[in-house]
Structure 1
Amino acid sequence: MAVEHPPAMPAGDQTRIHDIGYRGYDGPRLGRAYARRSLYSQSLRGAYGLGRSVKSKVLPMLLFAVMCLPAAIMVAVAVFTKAHELPVPYTRYAIIMQAVISLYVASQAPQAVSRDLRFKTVPLYFSRPIETADYVLAKFASLASALFILTGAPLLVMYVGALLAKMGFAHQTELFTQGLVSVALLSLLFAGIGLVIAAVTPRRGFGIAAVIAVMTIPYGAVTTLQAIAHVQDESSAIPWIGLFSPITLVDGVQSAFLGATSRSPGGVDPSAGQGVVYVLVVLALIAGSYGLLTRRYKKVGL
């Protein structure tokens, strides 16, 4: 009996149909808000290396420890000596530790955005129910939150230590609140500036160098000019010169409205009118940074 064979396939035809059991998704659609929260959470965790390799955790955790260690030492000294005031005011701590804060921004701002640019994954985000504003808001908020944790944690250590040293509760709470307002403003300003610079280039190394330059060079130039003005008895110009550096902007705002003493040469505090100008410049920089990021990612997402 003859055996029937299946018809031969044309030479070179490798067509196959496979049943892979694909099924449509019938579950809940969580929408933009869930996607935005997830991106914020993932970015905030990434700012401290959580969920990433051990190597990625070393620098942010080291910088966090460096930020908190001097505060812990001051608390120990205050408790041991039964001091009535902390040696460094809450509002001045972040100004003193500005180098550590700038290094943190320089290392984590490119980490937040440069990889998405380098590997061209930004359009994939926008293929989901998430828009440019959601992406920018999540990244901005996550880095600002990471900076607030970095700068607020040592203030909390100081506050708890002050209470353990039996310093006045109401007085310390007021000073601690002023310090939190100051570092919150600093966190928003530094996050905005760092992200704008990092979003310009997909090269992380270039982003790190650029952020460090923007954070340090203007400060050096401003303090030099302020010192010259102080030596030449032009003290009235010192507050105006402080408008041209991120850290002196924060210093000017807290000196004008949060009871701090300016760290400018000569210790000249801005007047109330100059303080208003400082606040407006800081808010303009924060809003401008957000606007530039939104504009940047509208182009990248195409």
Structure 2
Amino acid sequence: MSTETAPRGASIHNIGYRHYDGPRLGRAYARRSLFSQSLRGAYGLGRSAKSKVLPMILFAVMCLPALIIVAVAVYMKTGRLPLEYTRYALYLQAVIGLYVASQAPQSVSRDLRFKTVPLYFSRPIKSADYVAAKFAAMTSALFILTAAPLLILYVGALLAKLDFAEQTKGFAQGLVSVALLSLLFAGIGLVIAAVTPRRGFGVAAVIAVLTISYAATGVIQGIAFNQDNTDAISWFGLFSPITLIDGVQTAFLGATSNFPGGYGPDAGTGAVYLLVVLGLIAGSYGLLTRRYRKVGL
């Protein structure tokens, strides 16, 4: 304690602050830490028990049908799996949509609501690092959600002694499909969630966009099918995220289309689907980057 040349009644205290002389890990370490924290948070790890309930339930719901399919294939000694790898995520799209709606706002809306984003940027981390970490974490979380049941199917198929080459090819095609799906859904979910600091609004908006777009596309495709306008069915699939993935895997991954009558896109139309998917992913990333440049101010 020191009282050198202080005003009457005042004192100066030495509370022991020292400069940090250790290694400075920099932006790369901060970016990796933010990615790890965001990925763990997407499954409630490191958070309260209440935060773990929904993502873990959704993960279990995603894997349960795969376990049942494997059990049936092993017990019945069938010559093939009753469900293609590429179709699994399409049948469980509601679970995937609910996961995106619940976890994308959790990833970004809370930082906006409590105004912690400028605190991130006061460190070596920049807005581009924040966006890259959040986008990669949400994509990875979705890939884990969608790829885990495919792995269960693949292991089960090998245990059932199904053809190794055929199952490996199907499994690889399924992984490519869910990787694209994860990138697309992560981008859309994060862009919508980053618009508002209110988590509830973000959840409702993500559900609305994914549900309404799919329902409207299905109705329009159904009308086109009933009117024998089969050429239009594949083009209408461009207006919904899940039908975009359906179209890409039908055209390039040997999948069977879920479109009415099975009228999926051919290779030419499929190229348009792929360009739209890649454009939406890049556009979502660009919008997030632009959004957080403004928020950082």
TM-score w.r.t. length of structure 2: 0.97
- AA paired with 1:79? V
Q: In structure 2, how many angstroms separate the alpha carbons of the residues matched to 1:154 and 1:257? A: 22
Q: Find 1:186's aligned residue among 161, 167, 181.
A: 181
* Partner of residue 124, structure 1: 119
Give yes or no for the alignment of 1:64 onto 2:94: no
Counterpart AA for 1:155: L
Choose from 250, 271, 293 the match for 1:276: 271
| Superposed displacement of residue 85, structure 1 | 0.8
1:156 aligned residue? 151
2:253 is the alignment partner of 1:254: no
Query: 1:93 matched to which residue of 2?
Result: 88
Given candidates 192, 197, 205, the residue that maps to 1:197 is 192
1:34 corresponds to 2:34: no
Q: Distance in 1 between matches of 2:7 and 2:208?
A: 66
CA change 1:16–1:216 in 2 (3 A) is farther
TM-superposition CA deviations, 1:118-162 (whole Å, max 9, x none): 010000111111111100000000000000000000000000000
Out of 224, 228, 233, the residue aligned to residue 229 of structure 1 is 224
Q: Distance in 1 between matches of 2:236 and 2:214?
A: 10
* Letter matched to residue 153 of structure 2: M
Residues 19 and 226 from structure 1, CA distance in 2 versus in 1: closer, same or farther, beyond 3 angstroms? same
Q: Which amino acid aligns with 1:280?
A: L
Q: CA deviation at 1:20?
A: 1.2
Task: Name which one, 1 or 2, has greater alpha-carbon Rg.
Answer: 1
- Identical columns (%): 77
Distance 2:92 2:66 in 1: 11
Query: 1:269 Cα deviation (Å)?
Result: 1.7
Give the unaligned 5+ runs of structure 1.
Answer: 1-7
Determine the C-alpha separation between the residues in 2 that align with 1:93 and 1:136: 30
SS at match of 1:270: coil
Cα RMSD after superposing both structures: 1.2
Map of 2:3 onto structure 1: none
* SS in structure 1 of the partner of residue 125 of structure 2: coil
Give how far 1:9 is off: 6.8
Return the alpha-carbon distance in structure 1 between the equivalents of residues 190 and 289 of structure 2. 11
Residue type of the partner of 1:115? Answer: R
Separation of aligned partners in 2, 1:9 and 1:172:
82
Q: How many residues align?
A: 293
1:43 aligns with 2:38: yes
In structure 2, what residue type is equivalent to 1:89?
Answer: E
Say whether 1:22 aligns with 2:32. no
TM-score, normalising length: structure 1: 0.95
Counterpart CA distance in 2 for 1:139 and 1:17 is: 44
Where does structure 2 lack aligned partners over 5 or more consecutive residues?
1-5
